[in-house]
Structure 1
């Protein structure tokens, strides 16, 4: 069945959340150790898509409404491995194979508005179908679209006394319509003791055009191992 890339909707959140929980509980690709509540996912989705105006995409098999068993060990939701670990589509009739979005990098500071951070996760049973590559190509096209603007905001005070003054937003961009995107960052966890020294995903990003901008060693600890953080940068003007 062909893979479709489309904007995510609220109906996709349960399946997106399930994929994310798998990576939290079973891998070192994220520094999180506890699953994020679905309600938080929904709030983040609204902030990214509706407030910030940034792309949030899913790769789906359209209209099947019958997701396969994930085996994702969703302890936080009472899922027992091998018994009731089959993910359900819920309101969405599409099967979510992966998701990707752009989010603010140091979003509380307006000068960072042209730089965004990439998140991309693929369902573990569909990693050999080029889902990640298709998602990245689509999110890159969105970032390069001149109509895509990052609605970055910085709260400031009217007046100088700091008391009883009205607060208002300052929106990025010379025209007040948001900032055009110049840089996409991929901030990834690397397990030096893992398979291939944890470098396989790093090589994938570099093949897509990212360059390594920095590495912090032994900065996180998960599953009994010290992890590095690697910063990769994709400059849309290069």
Structure 2
């Protein structure tokens, strides 16, 4: 099991994150994407989220050379505005979490989600590289975190194991949409989870 460090995502991480994305698109229902997003679009999304000052965090293999052209990324987590740019949702975000397929079950996801929630709960304790100034103070603070998970029948407990894992962090199920996605020839449910900060 590798040791890893957590840090804000850098532009140089995007190619490694794209490789992880390609795996999940091709092999899982964790994302409903059928075709991988081009790396240029992932890069633009990264810049867009960072320009908003939202957290985007990676887990990096501590044994890897930090100055390598392609860092050894073990996973990532970020938040995006919930339901786009609709102003009334300003204090609500939706998170996305992905671990490198060779490092699932090694504590990477737990560490990433724990750090993200710490940054969101106490933004004043973290530097601008973690969360922008616009998200600090009573008027800026993020209050709700939403997660949307695909119910993968092939997963632990018929897919419900992931919901139980999120429950350890305080997330509660607030919705269940049946048969809303079709991938690999089967209909897939999604479950919405919510955490009040």
Q: What corresponds to 1:18 in structure 2?
A: 19
More helix by share: 2
In 2, Cα distance between the equivalents of 1:224 and 1:90?
Answer: 40
In 1, Cα distance between the equivalents of 2:79 and 2:54?
Answer: 6
Change (3 A) 1:16 1:190: same
Change (3 A) 1:112 1:103: same
TM-score, length-scaled by structure 1 = 0.73
Give the SS at the match of 1:199: helix
Q: What corresponds to 2:154 in structure 1?
A: 194
In 2, Cα distance between the equivalents of 1:112 and 1:149?
Answer: 18
The offset of 1:52, in angstroms, is 1.1
Q: Deviations over 1:183-233 (max 9, x none)?
A: 110111113x42422112111111221000011101111101111111100
Q: Deviations over 1:117-152 (max 9, x none)?
A: 011000111112100000011111111124345859
Whether the 8 Å CA contact 1:52–1:150 is kept in 2: the answer is no
Q: What corresponds to 1:204 in structure 2?
A: 165
Whether the 8 Å CA contact 1:150–1:181 is kept in 2: the answer is no
Correspondence for 1:216 among 158, 165, 177: 177
Q: Deviations over 1:33-60 (max 9, x none)?
A: 10000000100001111x2101000001
Q: What corresponds to 1:45 in structure 2?
A: 46
Correspondence for 1:105 among 71, 82, 85: 82
Q: What corresponds to 2:127 in structure 1?
A: none
**What is the number of equivalent residue pairs in this alignment?**
188
In 2, Cα distance between the equivalents of 1:47 and 1:151?
Answer: 15
**Which is higher, the Rg of structure 1 or of structure 2?**
1
In 2, Cα distance between the equivalents of 1:112 and 1:124?
Answer: 33
The root-mean-square deviation of aligned C-alpha atoms, in Å, is 2.2
Q: What corresponds to 1:128 in structure 2?
A: 105
Higher relative contact order (CA 8 A, sep 6+): 2
Whether the 8 Å CA contact 1:11–1:90 is kept in 2: the answer is no
The offset of 1:63, in angstroms, is 5.6
The offset of 1:91, in angstroms, is 2.0
